[in-house]
Structure 1
Amino acid sequence: MVKVPLGVRWALRLLAIAYVFLLVAWPVALVVQHTFEDGLTTLQDALADPDVVNALRLTVLVAFWAVLINLVFGVGISILLVRFEFPGKRVLSALIDLPMSVSPVVVGLALLLVYNGRDGFFGKPLEDNGLQIIFNSPGMIMATCFVALPLVIREVVPTLTEIGDDQEQAARSLGANARQTFLRITLPSIKWAVVYGVVLSLARSLGEFGAVKIVSGNFTGQTQTATLIVEQKYQNFEQSTAYATSFMLAFVSVVCLVVVSVLRPKESKK
């Protein structure tokens, strides 16, 4: 092991702290400061705004369904990638990382082209049968699912690989079916990876902007999420409402991460 001089170590630590402070801590602290510079008045005024309330309600709805869908498919795809061999496995693994490299705006535009009601490949037949995807909550959920897709999978796959399948094979040899093996052996072994992946997916879903803006149409009181109303309020010189809404989004995400970080070490000690 290379011994790094004490001065260099301290310089690297200070550089890392300064980087995080300037990029994350300071901007977030300014949002909090502007939110509470008049006490709770700014927050109360924002929560009294019906447009903000509708946007928050829609954000929770979209995030809930996106996280639930990604949870089910994320765990299923993780098991498929780790426990089975099949043609195209590497291609599937590479496609899972696609949302991390493609701009959300591009994702929104792609969904618009496929699912819009005028000339979309699927959109027109669906609208003819009474189901509108674009400029409606289904399209917003699809866009959010796409951008948050890898977060559960990339937490669960390493854990499944690490624990191996010895216990699962032993359970099957004793007569357990696939459902019993999953619920009693696999799921308890990966539960913290699943929880952490869900929290990351929730934080990503709450903060999604680009893809949702394209597919929602950004109609006030109808398809406007919290991130979209932050932009609208700020551009309309209602900065206090924008700060308060931003604070609420950040607060929920930070609380989820803190709770998981506090509970996870306690669980690992048992």
Structure 2
Amino acid sequence: MSVATGAILAGSRRRRLIRSGLLTLTILYVAVLLLAPLLGIIWIAFRQGFAAMGATFSDPQVQHAAFLTLTITAVTVTVTAIFGVVVAWLLARDNFRGRSLLDALVDLPFAVSPITVGVMAFLLFSPGGLFEPLFTSLGIQVLFAVPAMVLVTIFISIPFVVRGVVPVLRELGQDEEEAARTLGASSLQSFFRVTLPNIKWGLLYGVALSTARALGEIGAVLIVSGQIQGQNETLTLFILRAIEERQEPQAYLVALSLAAVSILILTLIEFFKHRQAKETAR
């Protein structure tokens, strides 16, 4: 065997060892930081028996927290889907002054801590805040109420829709839209009949991510909600309070439910990502 061949084989062995080492580290990471806590939650949740599960999920506070969480998530997803598509359209189709600034602002929720978002909302809507006189005159309570919880959740969730749709719009181009307008379609008709069907998988991908983010939000919501039991308490806030009050079985059962929903959403995200890749490859 020549020296060159030996060097090639040695290099190949080193690469295999490096790949094996990285794969082992990844498996250990998933096992220790993800699977082990999840299995622990499952064990503690089911250890109490089905009677405890029934008592937990029939608790009016848990039911109200679930209803409030779903309500906030539904409003958030609706607003982020509509507003996110509009912003994505502006970024992908229009070339206007301030476009780069808008593009940077879209990513602001990724860079800012949710706690900071909550504090900013608190300062804006608290007594003496910039928007407090306006909403007080209208008789609308924003802070320590559902409106503030919805607003901060929308702010944190909207980048997912924008970043899911912008690449699809840019990949799509404008040829089909221009052809539709040439045939007499209005801009609105062109959007709903041509553009929307082509971006649907990217939009659904962003919506799924936005849903997951809204369901699991706690930092910003904790600041602006007041965490009033049976009134302004989402499922994540209920879990936090249950742990603080040493009611671990209830906390783990609710956490397990959220984890199951998150796994379902993750499955949908992967499905939408796969369909989007197939649409792009055509």
1:65, distance to aligned residue in structure 2 (A) = 0.4
1:69 to 71, 79, 97: 79
1:94 to 104, 113, 118: 104
CA contact (8 A) 2:201 2:273 kept: yes
Q: Which amino acid aligns with 2:114?
A: P
Over the aligned positions, Cα root-mean-square deviation in angstroms equals 1.9
Paired with 2:53 and 2:102, the residues of 1 have a C-alpha distance of 44
1:50 aligns with 2:75: no
Determine helix, strand or coil for the equivalent of 2:34.
helix
Residue of structure 2 in register with 1:221 after alignment: 230
Paired with 1:10 and 1:92, the residues of 2 have a C-alpha distance of 43
For each residue in 1:22-71, what CA deviation from the matched residue of structure 2 results, as whole angstroms up to 9, or x when unmatched? Answer: 22222222212221223433322211211111111111111110111111
Q: Which amino acid aligns with 1:162?
A: E
Q: Which amino acid aligns with 1:106?
A: T
Residue of structure 1 in register with 2:267 after alignment: 258
Determine helix, strand or coil for the equivalent of 2:259.
helix
Residue of structure 2 in register with 1:28 after alignment: 38
Paired with 1:209 and 1:187, the residues of 2 have a C-alpha distance of 32
Residue of structure 1 in register with 2:23 after alignment: 13
Paired with 1:60 and 1:182, the residues of 2 have a C-alpha distance of 30
1:183, distance to aligned residue in structure 2 (A) = 1.0
TM-score by length of 1: 0.93
1:128 aligns with 2:137: yes
Q: Percent identity?
A: 38
1:177 aligns with 2:186: yes
Taking a change above 3 Å as real, the CA distance of residues 139 and 14 of structure 1, as seen in their structure-2 partners, is same
Determine helix, strand or coil for the equivalent of 2:129.
coil
1:262, distance to aligned residue in structure 2 (A) = 4.2
Unaligned 5+ residue runs, structure 2? 1-10
1:147 aligns with 2:160: no
1:259, distance to aligned residue in structure 2 (A) = 3.5
Taking a change above 3 Å as real, the CA distance of residues 10 and 194 of structure 1, as seen in their structure-2 partners, is same
1:260, distance to aligned residue in structure 2 (A) = 4.4
Q: Which amino acid aligns with 2:206?
A: G
Q: Which amino acid aligns with 1:6?
A: R
Residue of structure 2 in register with 1:163 after alignment: 172
Unaligned 5+ residue runs, structure 1? none
1:109, distance to aligned residue in structure 2 (A) = 0.9
For each residue in 1:192-239, what CA deviation from the matched residue of structure 2 results, as whole angstroms up to 9, or x when unmatched? Answer: 111111111011001100100111110001101111110111111110
Paired with 1:97 and 1:22, the residues of 2 have a C-alpha distance of 31
Residue of structure 2 in register with 1:104 after alignment: 114
2:147 to 138, 161, 182: 138
1:81 aligns with 2:91: yes
Runs of 4+ more than 6 Å apart = none
1:263, distance to aligned residue in structure 2 (A) = 6.5
Determine helix, strand or coil for the equivalent of 1:5.
helix
TM-score by length of 2: 0.90
Number of matched pairs? 268
Q: 1:231-246, aligned counterparts within 5 Å? A: 231-246=240-255
Q: Which amino acid aligns with 1:135?
A: F
Paired with 1:198 and 1:100, the residues of 2 have a C-alpha distance of 16
